[in-house]
Amino acid sequence: MTYATVLRKLSEDGFRQTKARRAIIELLIVSKNPLTIAEILRKLSVEFSLAVDKTTAYREISFLLEKQIAREIDFGDKKKRYESNIGDHHHHLVCTNCGKIEDFELKQDLQEEEKRISQNKNFKVTSHSLEFFGLCASCQ
Provide φ and ψ at 26, rounded to 5°. -65, -45
As a whole number of angstroms, the distance between CA 9 and CA 74 comes to 28
Least distance from C-beta 137 to Zn ion, angstroms? Answer: 8
* Residues 6 or more apart whose Cβ sits within 8 Å of residue 32: none
Residue 92 near residue 104, CB atoms below 8 Å: yes
Q: Does 109 bind Zn ion (CB under 5 A)?
A: yes
Q: Does 115 bind Zn ion (CB under 5 A)?
A: no
Q: Pick out residues in 86-105 that bind Zn ion (CB under 5 A).
A: 95, 97-98, 100
Nearer to Zn ion, 37 or 136 (CB): 136
Name the residues that contact Zn ion, by CB under 5 A.
95, 97-98, 100, 109, 136, 139
